[in-house]
Amino acid sequence: MSDELLTVAEMARADALTIAAGTPGVTLMEAAGWAVARIAAATLPRARVAVLCGPGNNGGDGFVAARLLARRGWPVRVALLGERDRLKGDAALAAARWTGPLVPLAPEALDGCGGVIDALFGAGLSRPLDGAAAATLTEVARRRLPVVAVDVPSGVAGDSGAVLGPAPDCVATVTFFRKKPGHCLLPGRIKCGAITVAAIGIPATVLDQIRPLAAENHAPALPAPALDGHKFRRGHLLVVGGPMAGAGRLAALAGRRIGAGLVTLAVPDDALPALRGAEPGTILARRDQLAALLADPRRNAVVIGPGAGSDAATRADLRTVLAAGRPAVLDADALTCWRDDPAALFAALSPAQVLTPHDGEFAALFGAVAGSRLDRARAAAARSGAVVLLKGPDTVIAAPDGRARINTDAPPDLATAGSGDVLAGLIGGLLAQGWDAFAAAAAGAALHGRAGRIAGRGLIAEDLLTAMQKPSFFA
């Protein structure tokens, strides 16, 4: 299954296109409920299950799952928010087929139950939880009952991952056809537990009409170097570092490990002596020679910023890099040095550049941008005209044309000094090998996460470089 993410509106369109092509909505609902029942039977303890049903189609899926579980011999109680005779459409049909116990939604509905199916709200969540829904889910948490969610944990917004009330901490979530951004963005992702994507009979061809712009990020297969390869054909990355020379060193090493044929590290004159002999395979140069270094067209990609100094010199050097027309990664100081005049930076950027801010650097450049991390990264990419990689536990990579990737596999151990320098070097090394900026940024984020997984607990940035030598890194 491919990894496109559908917004709530796009998912509604996928449903509608499938129904218009002849599959009744209730058939989709039966398939959805069947998938939920299967996961619930495999996940929940063999005890009475409370199926909490809401007033829409999410509740309809719950009624189907309740019927199928009961048919398998499970004791099941349905607790409904609202009146049964006010249900409409497919949900009304599903409810009509339920002949077992039905009680009003309330905390007491959980009495005697060992597990919960949460079918209160899915894609139709329109406001924060309150009343009986909030009270019952609060009691679910107090009793520490295991929960399987239908589509999303109720209270998690499908498009943003925002949590609007006491959404349950689920052991499993069963969603349909494709994940939604809220399954990948925090804090929603944490609420979901293990996510299953059930097919339910929506054909993948509907995606040709929907053309989703967002996807979950996965590392691409890295092609093995060509047998007749030559270091001059594998790109030459120029890392523009500064007084904090260690940051530039890490970026340079990451660029080399990911396969750039050559890497030059340019630092101020007085930082050079400390670097001599440190990494003999990195070419060292004086940063005040930047224009001359860029006059060599073989230096085909640049990382600028790690340890560079947030000052006028970095601004001037960045202008030199951009004027030379090189794809570049702008990290750390190369971003913050524009905090007084971000418009001047944006005017000089193109989609061949990658900005890699963390939240603080992002705020310094773009101010307070409303919406989810996905919305914010996209807005920043559109505004700056460059690829934006907004770093965090749910890193988002966005292109100015609206394409976006959400990275879901970054161990928290990556939040450590120097880790961002390695990421910048990874992306720069891919740029040097001719990768397009959006693809390089997305691949860099995924590979950075993979290196973190391989390095394991207690990792420091240097360990990421070692992890990049393991066969599993290039798997």
Angle at CA 180, nearest 5°, toward 177 and 181? 155
393 annotated ligand binder: yes
Question: Where on the chain is the footprint of K ion (CB under 5 A)?
Answer: 118, 122, 149-150, 154
Q: Is 384 annotated as a binding residue?
A: no
**Residue 123 contact, options ligand NAX, K ion, none, Cβ 5-8 Å cut-off depending on partner type:** ligand NAX
Using CB under 6 A as the binding rule, whether residue 394 contacts ligand NAX is answered as no
- Residue among 3, 13, 23, 25 that touches ligand NAX (CB under 6 A): 25
Q: Report the residue number, 124 or 392, with the smaller CB distance to ligand NAX.
A: 124
In this structure, what token pair is assigned to residue 34?
Answer: 């069947």
Q: Report the nearest approach of ligand NAX to the CB of residue 184 (Å).
A: 16
> x-or-dash pattern for ligand NAX, window 28-47, by CB under 6 A?
xx--x---------------
For residue 426, state whether it binds ligand NAX (rule: CB under 6 A).
Answer: no
Position 61: which residue type?
A: D
Residue that has been written with the tokens 């996460």 in this structure: 449
Q: Is the dihedral of CA 323, 326, 331, 333 positive or negative?
A: negative
411 vs 298: CA distance, rounded Å: 35
Residue 359 annotated as part of some ligand binding site: no
133 contact, one of K ion, ligand NAX, none, CB 5-8 Å limit per kind:
ligand NAX
Among 133, 304, 337, 442, binds ligand NAX (CB under 6 A): 133
Q: How many CB atoms lie within 10 A of CB 366?
A: 20
Percent of residues in the chain assigned helix, strand, coil, to nearest 5:
45, 15, 40
With respect to ligand NAX, which residue has the nearer C-beta, 59 or 193? 59
- Toward ligand NAX, which CB reaches closer, 167 or 330? 167
| DSSP assignments along 352-366, one per residue | TEEE---HHHHHHHH
| Enclosing H/E stretch for 335 | helix 333-336
60 has binding-site annotation: yes
CA distance 261 to 232: 6
25 forms beta bridges with: none
Cα separation, 349 vs 355, in Å, equals 10
Q: Are 95 and 84 in contact (CB under 8 A)?
A: yes
Which residue lies nearer to K ion by CB, 120 or 396? 120
Cβ at position 32, least distance to ligand NAX in Å? 4
End-to-end CA distance of the chain: 19
Alpha-carbon distance 410 to 385, whole Å? 26
By CB under 6 A, the count of residues binding ligand NAX is: 26
Is there a contact between 303 and 317 (Cβ–Cβ < 8 Å)?
no
CA distance 362 to 376: 9
CB of 6 to ligand NAX, least distance (A): 11
104 is in an annotated binding site: no
Q: Virtual CA dihedral for 102, 108, 111, 116, nearest 10 degrees?
A: 70
Which residue has tokens 């087929």?
Answer: 97
| Angle at CA of residue 329, ends 323 and 334, nearest 5° | 75
Residue 146 vs 166, nearer CB to ligand NAX: 166
The response to whether 456 counts as a known ligand-binding position is no
Q: Is 247 annotated as a binding residue?
A: yes
Question: Which H/E stretch holds residue 79?
Answer: strand 76-80
Q: Is residue 150 classed as helix, strand or coil in its secondary structure?
A: strand
Q: Please identify which residue in 34, 74, 121, 338 interacts with ligand NAX, judged by CB under 6 A.
A: 121
Query: Which partner, K ion, ligand NAX, none, binds residue 154 by CB below 5 to 8 Å per kind?
Result: K ion
Q: How far is the CB of 151 from ligand NAX (least distance, A)?
A: 4
25 is in an annotated binding site: no
Q: Considering the rule CB under 6 A, would residue 126 count as an interface residue with ligand NAX?
A: yes
DSSP-assigned beta bridge partners for residue 79 = 52, 103
CA-nearest of 421, 84, 112 to 240 is 421
Q: Is 122 annotated for ligand binding?
A: yes
User: Contacting ligand NAX (CB under 6 A), which of 98, 176, 435, 438?
Assistant: 176
Among 129, 247, 386, 426, binds ligand NAX (CB under 6 A): 129
Nearer to ligand NAX, 55 or 307 (CB): 55
CB of 59 to ligand NAX, least distance (A): 6
Compare residues 32 and 250 and give the one whose CB is closer to ligand NAX: 32
Q: Any binding-site annotation on 58?
A: yes
Write down the least CB distance from residue 435 to K ion, Å.
39
What single letter denotes the amino acid at residue 68?
Answer: L
125 annotated ligand binder: yes
- Comparing C-alpha atoms, which of 371, 381, 397 is closest to residue 349? 381
* Minimum separation from the CB atom of position 213 to K ion (A): 25
Nearer to ligand NAX, 52 or 430 (CB): 52
Kindly identify the residues of this chain, within the stretch 54-83, that bind ligand NAX according to CB under 6 A: 54-61
Binding residues for K(+): 58, 118, 154
Q: Which residues of this protein are in contact with ligand NAX, per CB under 6 A?
A: 15, 25, 28-29, 32, 54-61, 121-129, 133, 150-151, 176
